[in-house]
Each structure stands twice: as structure tokens, then as C-alpha cells.
């Protein structure tokens, strides 16, 4: 099976990644080697997930060469002051048993530390060779544009909540104009997609599952990468098998039309910015 990649500002990122959000360490140790065996080469974690050490263990035990992997982690907001930032990145690398990550993201906007200082710290670890690429997560269009303006090294992604019920076309378009990809998380809308009659009908027409249709809809959009997360080996295999079919333009449009004004699910108080209004 060919691995599709998205290129963005010099980074080549596998179009489907394996996410580990809310995945306890023992699940990570069990499922990640299996995901790697299936062909996943892009793995996503974060400092706040509390599973970097187990992920490092799983990767080390998998036999997959470090250079064949695209590994992402995210700096937690409390680590944004410069000293804490640098220390936290070293700690992440130690836990992940590697001397670099492929992509390091600012996990959420946080104005307790000036954005210029956050971006400067990202650039510092990039210049040190500890991270190959840098980016942001949960950034609005305005924040993303400001981050781009402040950064010496190019930003390669904005990782955001994106699923059929949340219209992110404006953010995707703004990212593309700046040369960034968008990495979609929460693609299954916390399970909501599975009962959707529209998605069930499209899936039946392709002999695919609803999950495969949603993941396909995401990666079929230019510049969009998707994360998929499961602790089931069978589901991991299913999630990876999305490159042997395509959705028609009308099917793509029908799925886009499922978006709702109140479609956003992830908006934690104290972290979430004032979100962009859907187009």
C-alpha cells in the first residue's frame, strides 16, 4: 500500500497519522507496534498525554528505524516560558528515546507568555536540531498568521479539530495560503459520525466503513492530514486502508454540508481562543 504524504513548507508528512490522545501508557505499548506493523509511519503524542515514555518504549521495541518515522509531540502551555520550554523538550526527547522529533507544536494558544517568546523558543530548539519542523495547534487564523510572521523557520501545520460537523474551510484555506498543512484531530466527532445516515449510505456505496469514509474525506482535501486513534488492532487496519478508493466531488460536498453552526466539540475553558466563525 502506498503511503500518501502531504508536503508543507519543506516538510513531507504522512497523510494519515496514529494519534495517542487519552491513550494510557499500557495501551500505547500494546497497539503502537501493531500500528507500525500495519504501515503507519506518523505517530502523534503530546507532553500532556502522559504517554511519551511508553511511546518511546513501543517505538524502540518495534524494530522500525527511527528515520522511517514521523514523530510529533506538543509543548504544554505551562512550559511556554523559555527555560521551561527548553527543559520540557529535552524531557520529551528523553522519554521518546530519540534525539529529535520530526514536528514540535505549541499545543494551545496561551497569552500568559507572549506569542513572540513561544515562537522564539520553537525556533531555538529547531536551530539546535532537536526538532526537524515546527507548527501550532488549535490556533485561529489570526493567531496562525501572527505566528507565521514571528517565526524565522517555516511553520508546517496547524493541528485542529476537524470533522464533518465542523466547517474548517476558512482555516484550511488560510493555512494553505501560508504554505501550512492542517492536521485534523477528532475526525470521528467523538463517535457521532457512526450513526450518521448520510455517512452510512456513502460508506455502503463504497463497501467501506463510516470511519474509512470520514478519514478519506479528510485526506482527500488538499493539504489536510488526519490522525486516527484506536486501541483495536482490527480498527487500526481499517483506518489505514483509505487509499484504495476515492469519494466523488458530489460525495465530498454532501459530507461538507453536514457541518453545523455548533459543531465544535473541543473547546476547553481557559485554553480555547475566541474561535473563527465558520465561512
Pick the closest to residue 152 from 121, 179, 183, 129 (CA basis): 121
Whether the Cβ atoms of residue 17 and residue 183 lie closer than 8 Å to each other: yes
C-alpha cell at 184: 485534523
Q: Residue 148, exposed/middle/buried by CB under 10 A (0-12, 13-18, 19+)?
A: buried
User: Of 49, 80, 162, 185, which is the active-site residue?
Assistant: 49
What distance in Å separates the CA atoms of residue 92 and residue 268, rounded to the nearest whole number?
Answer: 24
Residue 67 DSSP class: G
Please give the backbone phi and psi of residue 231, each rounded to the nearest 5 degrees, phi first.
-105, 5
Q: Is 107 annotated as a binding residue?
A: yes
Q: Residue 254, exposed/middle/buried by CB under 10 A (0-12, 13-18, 19+)?
A: middle
Q: Beta strand 42-44 with 16-19: parallel, antiparallel or unpaired?
A: parallel
Tell me whether residue 165 is one of the annotated catalytic residues. no
Task: Give binding residues for substrate as ranges.
Answer: 107
Which residues are marked as active site?
49
Amino acid at each position: 500500500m502506498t503511503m500518501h504524504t502531504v508536503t508543507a513548507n519543506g516538510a513531507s508528512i504522512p497523510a494519515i497519522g496514529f494519534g495517542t490522545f487519552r491513550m494510557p501508557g499500557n495501551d500505547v505499548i500494546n497497539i503502537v507496534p501493531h500500528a507500525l506493523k500495519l504501515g503507519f509511519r506518523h505517530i502523534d503524542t503530546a507532553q500532556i498525554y502522559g504517554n511519551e515514555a511508553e511511546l518511546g518504549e513501543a517505538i524502540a521495541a518495534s524494530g522500525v528505524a527511527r528515520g522511517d518515522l514521523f514523530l510529533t509531540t506538543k509543548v504544554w502551555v505551562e512550559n511556554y516560558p523559555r527555560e521551561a520550554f527548553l527543559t520540557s523538550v529535552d524531557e520529551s526527547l528523553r522519554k521518546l528515546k530519540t534525539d529529535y522529533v520530526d514536528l514540535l507544536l505549541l499545543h494551545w494558544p496561551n497569552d500568559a507568555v507572549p506569542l513572540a517568546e513561544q515562537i522564539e523558543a520553537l525556533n531555538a530548539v529547531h536551530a539546535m536540531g532537536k526538532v526537524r519542523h515546527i507548527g501550532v495547534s488549535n490556533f485561529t487564523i489570526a493567531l496562525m498568521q501572527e505566528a507565521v510572521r514571528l517565526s524565522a523557520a517555516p511553520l508546517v501545520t496547524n493541528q485542529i479539530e476537524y470533522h464533518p460537523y465542523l466547517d474548517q474551510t476558512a482555516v484550511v484555506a488560510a493555512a494553505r495560503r501560508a504554505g501550512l498543512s492542517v492536521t485534523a484531530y477528532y475526525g470521528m466527532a467523538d463517535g457521532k459520525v457512526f450513526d450518521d445516515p448520510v455517512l452510512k449510505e456513502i460508506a455502503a456505496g463504497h463497501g467501506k466503513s463510516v470511519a474509512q469514509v470520514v478519514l478519506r474525506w479528510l485526506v482527500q482535501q488538499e493539504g489536510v492530514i488526519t490522525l486516527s486513534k484506536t486501541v483495536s488492532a482490527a480498527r487500526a487496519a481499517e483506518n489505514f486502508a483509505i487509499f484504495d478508493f476515492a469519494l466523488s466531488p458530489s460525495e465530498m460536498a454532501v459530507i461538507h454540508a453536514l457541518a453545523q453552526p455548533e459543531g465544535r466539540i473541543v473547546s476547553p475553558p481557559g485554553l480555547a481562543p475566541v474561535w473563527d466563525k465558520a465561512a
